[in-house]
Structure 1
């Protein structure tokens, strides 16, 4: 499963994976408690593969940021919690992505990224970060 199948739904905690698409939206399963819910096409849904983080020079895809966290943590859970204070989160994120735009990337965004990384780690989905990159390069050849 790639990040194309992992969603964030506004107003709902955590991440969801698409189980199937329906005429009016999709049936998704929570990565937290495995409960399935139906989301309508009108819901505010963000697909993880389409999210990018602002830096001072460009927008970095979320996949690349998650890979940097994975490298920093040696493929383990993060050393900070998404519940830590703002200064701790910003210092941690500065070590991951030194040139992130502090004016446009808020502490709430950093909390989400850390929480999402840990959820993907818990569900053994971090390996797909590498697989997607390999797939991308083979398509270019």
Structure 2
């Protein structure tokens, strides 16, 4: 599951997709209603690809947890985030048995399930690899001669 350009913006409901970076921030599109908003650099923004959940062994990336939910639900919707706390913690225990119950609160579980259901409703729950691996593969395949050629042409035009 690719969460590279999916954002959670503090104070704004739902999730957003990063569209364009500007001098003073960026433009994001809401997954809920498709409206575009501008976000300045002072806003508290979290990339979903950077979020982890505490376990007793360390931290698990959110993408792995969402993939486990997708596998459990056969890529269908998960239970509602509006269920009672006991139901949510029991469900999350099935998905991630070793999560740290003292450091992961019911509100965190609600967020994860709400985000998963939003992504699933938009068809973004897939088995694709993260974009960083694809970018690394493209960089490795590009010969060094191809990268240097444009720089030489630029010098020739200046003279």
Give the secondary structure class of the aligned counterpart of 2:98.
Answer: coil
Q: Within 2, Cα distance between the matches of 1:47 and 1:33?
A: 19
Which segments of 5 or more consecutive residues in structure 1 lack a partner in the other structure?
none
Q: Which residue of 2 aligns with 1:132?
A: 130
Which segments of 5 or more consecutive residues in structure 2 lack a partner in the other structure?
141-159
Q: Which residue of 2 aligns with 1:87?
A: 86
1:6-45 maps to which residues of 2 (within 5 A)? 6-45=6-45
Q: Which residue of 2 aligns with 1:4?
A: 4
| Offset of residue 130 of structure 1 | 3.1
Matched pairs, number: 137
Summarize deviations over 1:11-46 as a string: whole Å, max 9, x none.
111100011011111110000111111111010000
Q: Within 1, Cα distance between the matches of 2:66 and 2:34?
A: 22
| Offset of residue 99 of structure 1 | 0.5
Give runs of ≥4 in structure 1 deviating > 4 Å: none
Q: Which residue of 2 aligns with 1:112?
A: 111
Q: Within 2, Cα distance between the matches of 1:60 and 1:120?
A: 19
Give the secondary structure class of the aligned counterpart of 1:4.
Answer: coil
TM-score by length of 2: 0.80
| Offset of residue 132 of structure 1 | 2.0
TM-score by length of 1: 0.90
